[in-house]
Homo-oligomer: A and B are copies of this chain.
Amino acid sequence: MTSLRLPAGMRDFAPAAAAARRRIAETLLRVFERWGYARVITPAFEYEEVLALGLGSAAREAAIRFVEPSSGQVVALRPDITPQIARLAATRFRDEPGPLRLCYEGTVVRLDRRARSQRELIQAGIELAGVPTPDGDVEVIALGAAALAAVGLPRPTIDLGHLGLAREVLGALELPDEALPLARARIAKRDRAGLAEVLRSARGPRAVVEFASLLPELAGPPSILAVARRRPPTPGIRRALENLAAVIRALEQRGVAGKLHVDLGEVRGFDYYTGIRLHGFVAGAPEPVLAGGRYDTLLARYGRPWPAVGFAVDVEATAGALEAQADGRPAVPAVNGDGPGVLISGPSRQAEQLADELRAEGRRAAVDYGGLQGAALDAYARRWQFQEVVRLRGARSAPATPALSRGATRQPKARSSRS
C-alpha cells in the first residue's frame, strides 16, 4: 500500500484546529469590512514574471514554480497575496481616485530552500492605497490592533521600524556595493562589532557613519526616537525620523490598543517597503502574527504609481498564540452552532423530523444512524460535542444517562411547513 504521508510542511487540520482557523479568518474579514475594506479574491498561481514584479528577493526565492501544462510557461504558486492585491489595485482600479481599501483571505505556499521544505499558510490582510500621509499608516496600524483584539489578542506589541530611514542611512554611507548587504545583515543581527568593521569602508560623512553604528541599539519604547532625532546627519534621515515620529504621535493620540515598540535597526523587507514597517507580536507566538508596512513604489511596478500601506495576519501563528495562551486547550469549540448541539437516536424518519425542527431554530442537530447503544452513544455525543442526546420512543437504546440526555420520550412536533 502506498504510504499516505503528506509533502513536507503540508498538513491536515482536524475539526478543532480547522474551526479555530476558520473563526480567526472570518473574524478578521468582518473587522476589515467594518473598517470599509472590500473583499477581493485572487488566483492561487500566476505567471512567475508577473508575480515576481511585486515580490522582494526573499519572497521570489520562496515561490514554488512549475511549468504550466497548458501554455508551457513558468507559473508560481503565490508566496504572498500583497503583490496580487497591488496588481489588482493598479489595474482594475486604475481610475479610482481613492482611497482604495481592499481586503483578502487565502492560502499561500512558501518554500524554504535551506530546510528543504515548504509551508502552507493562511493569510488575511488589507491594503490601503492613495493615502500618502501618516493618516494612512495610522489607520492601518490601528486596524491591525483592532483586528488582533477581535480574535482574542487584545494587547499586541506593535513593533515599528522605518525602511525609508534604513534606505536613507545605507544610501548616505556610500558603501562599496559588495559591503551593502553585509551592513544590512549585521544591522539586522544587532552585531555592533561586525557592523563597525563593515562601516570602515564607508565613504560617506562621518556623522552618517556614527548614526549607522547606533542603529542596532536604537530599539525600545517610542522615547528612543528622541535620541535619534537629536542630530539627524542628513535631511533625508531627518524626514524619515519625522515621519516615524508623526505616526507615533498620531497613534498615541488615537489611543491604539497595543504596546508600541520602535526599532530603527529594522531592515527586513528592504527591497519592498519604503516607509513604516510594522510587526505585531503577542505572547505565545515566536513569529509575528501580523506583518506589513508602507510600500509606496510597489503599485508603480504594475503601472500605476500610487502610495500604499497594508498588512497581512498569519492565521496559523495567530491560532498558535491563542492555543498557547489557552494552555493547549482548543480556543473555540470544534463545531459551531447556536446553543447546545443535539444528537438524536431513534426511528430514522422521526429522528430526522426532530433534527429538521431543531435546525430551523438555528440549533446544531444530527441523527445517529450508527445504531450506537447506551454509553457508546453518550461517548459519541461527547466526542463530537453534542451536549444533548435525545432518544426517541421506539429507539433501540437503553434509557439515557441523566448527565447527557433530556429523556427518551421527546416527540417531534407537528412538522412546520417550510418552502
What residues of chain A have their CB less than 8 Å away from a CB belonging to chain B? 1-15, 17-19, 21-22, 26, 29-30, 33-47, 49-50, 53, 64-71, 73, 75, 77, 84, 87-88, 91-92, 96-99, 101-102, 106-107, 109, 111-113, 115-118, 120, 130-131, 133, 135-136, 138-139, 142, 146, 154, 250, 253-255, 257, 302-303, 334-337, 341, 343, 348-349, 352-353, 355, 359, 362-370, 372, 376, 380, 383-384, 386, 415, 418-419
Q: Are A69 and B113 in contact (CB under 8 A)?
A: yes
The closest CB in chain B to the CB of A136 belongs to: B369
Please name all residues of chain B whose beta carbon is closer than 8 Å to the beta carbon of A96 when the two chains form the complex: 383
Decide if A7 touches B101 in the complex (CB within 8 Å). no
CA–CA, A25 and B88, complex, Å = 23
**Which residue, A5, A40, A353, A415, has most C-beta atoms of chain B within 10 A?**
A40
Cβ contact within 8 Å between A13 and B40: yes
> Shortest beta-carbon distance, A35 to chain B, in Å?
6
CA distance A256 to B38 in the complex (A): 36
Q: What are the 8 closest A-B residue pairs judged by CB atoms, nearest first?
A: A36-B366, A66-B66, A15-B38, A10-B43, A13-B41, A70-B116, A131-B369, A18-B41
Alpha-carbon gap, A96 to B71, bound state (A): 45
Report yes or no: A370 in contact with B336, Cβ–Cβ below 8 A: no
Chain B residues closer than 8 Å to A136, beta-carbon distance:
369
CB pair A44 B47 closer than 8 Å: no
The residue that A7 contacts in the complex, of B47, B92, B337, B355, with Cβ under 8 A, is B47
CB-CB under 8 A from A97, the residues of chain B are 370, 372, 376, 380
A–B complex contacts, Cβ < 8 Å, 22 sampled? A4-B303, A6-B43, A8-B70, A12-B43, A15-B38, A15-B39, A18-B39, A34-B359, A34-B363, A35-B359, A36-B386, A64-B69, A66-B66, A70-B115, A97-B372, A99-B366, A99-B369, A101-B384, A107-B107, A131-B369, A135-B367, A146-B359
Q: B365 near A36 (CB under 8 angstroms)?
A: yes
When the two chains form their complex, are residues A139 and B369 in contact, meaning their CB atoms are under 8 A apart?
A: yes
Judging by beta carbons under 8 Å apart, are B99 and A33 in contact? Answer: no
A33 and B370 contact, CB distance less than 8 A: no
* Closest chain B residue to A2, Cβ basis: B49
Contact A337 B33 (CB under 8 A): yes
Nearest chain B CB to A376 CB, angstrom units: 7
Not counting A12-B41, A136-B369, a sample of 6 additional A-B residue pairs whose C-beta atoms are within 8 angstroms of each other reads: A1-B303, A2-B50, A14-B88, A18-B41, A26-B26, A36-B386
Inside 8 A of A50's CB, which chain B residues have their CB? 2-6
B71:A8 contact, CB within 8 angstroms:
yes
Whole-angstrom CA separation of A136 from B370 in the bound complex: 10
Q: How far is the CB of A389 from chain B (nearest CB, A)?
A: 13
Chain B residues within an 8 Å CB radius of A115: 70
What's the Cα separation between A333 and B50 when bound, in Å? 31
Q: How far is the CA of A364 from the CA of B29 in the complex (A)?
A: 12
User: Looking across the interface, which residue of chain B has its beta carbon closest to that of A91?
Assistant: B4
Looking at A1, A33, A38, the one whose CB has the most chain B CB atoms below 10 A away is: A38
Minimum CB–CB distance for A146 against chain B, Å: 8
Q: A38-B334, A40-B13, A50-B2 are in contact. Are A367 and B66 (CB under 8 A)?
A: no
Shortest distance in angstroms between A235's beta carbon and chain B's nearest beta carbon?
26
Determine which of B4, B44, B135 lies in contact with A369 in the assembled complex, contact meaning CB atoms within 8 Å.
B135
Residue of B nearest to A70 (CB): B116
Which residues of chain B come closer than 8 Å to A111, judged between CB atoms?
Answer: 69-70
Closest residue of B by beta carbon distance from A99:
B370
A30 / chain B contacts, CB cutoff of 8 Å? 336
Contact B352 A38 (CB under 8 A): no
Interchain nearest-CB distance for A356 vs B (Å): 8
Residues of B within 8 A of A40 (CB): 12-15, 18
Chain B, residue nearest A111 (CB): B69
Residues of B within 8 A of A359 (CB): 34-35, 146
